[in-house]
Amino acid sequence: MGHHSDDDRPFLPVGFAVLTVSDTRTLADDKSGQTLTERIEKAGHRLAAREIVTDEVEAIRAVVRRWADDPAIDAVLTTGGTGFTGRDVTPEALEPLFDKRMDGFSQVFHRISYDKIGTSTIQSRATAGTIGATFVFGLPGSPGACRDAWDHILEQQFDYRRRPCNFVEIMPRLDEHLKRGAARSG
């Protein structure tokens, strides 16, 4: 139909970092972080970093800023803290850092989520944008939401073979003003 894979193109692995935002989770019981990690690796990408941080704006920002500055990390996935209760501050932490917002991610995520959970999807404030040349996606804290976002959006958009367009092919152009590409090859 309108989108397909192009077998003439190689698969290019991307460096991902996964941040779980939670006051209570540990790596041992972090099902959402595990869901994302497994899918990243199964798709052939690199897991460059994985951490857990408490539901606090400055704590979230500190990790995301550090990862955005790391040339080995092309995309950051956060999970958790996107709801409406007191400790849900992930969008507040991330959105002021964005150089460009990606409203389409939230719209497509909600469309997919609506088919699974109906109007309950509006209780999520899933968000995304870019910080310099780094893609950042703020996903809800449930494993199901992480599965939906990866399986139906992120896996395709981070596959260089995907037509008509994908994130991987625009990554060098995001990089231009940072001159990161030159530093990498030097």
Whole-angstrom CA distances from 46 to 76, 145, 158 are: 12, 21, 12
For the chain, domain boundaries: 12-179
Sequence-ordered alpha helix ranges (H) in 22-166: 31-42, 57-68, 90-94, 103-117, 143-149, 155-157
CB 99 within 8 A of CB 67: no
> At which residue do the structure tokens 């501050």 appear?
89
pLDDT score of 23 more than 60: yes
Neighbour count for residue 115 (Cβ, 10 Å): 10
pLDDT at 183: 47
Measured CA to CA in angstroms, residue 139 lies from 13, 161, 173 at distances of 21, 24, 25
Does the predicted model carry a pTM greater than 0.85? yes
Instruction: Please give the Cα distance from 104 to 93 (Å, whole number).
Output: 19
Which residue(s) pair with 78 in the sheet? 19, 138
Domain 12-179 has CATH 3.40.50.1370: no
- Per-residue model confidence as pLDDT tens digits over 110-154: 999 999 999 999 999 999 999 999 999 999 999 999 999 999 999
pLDDT digits (tens, 9 = 90+) for 46-72: 999 999 999 999 999 999 999 999 999
Per residue in 142-156, pLDDT (tens digit) is 999 999 999 999 999
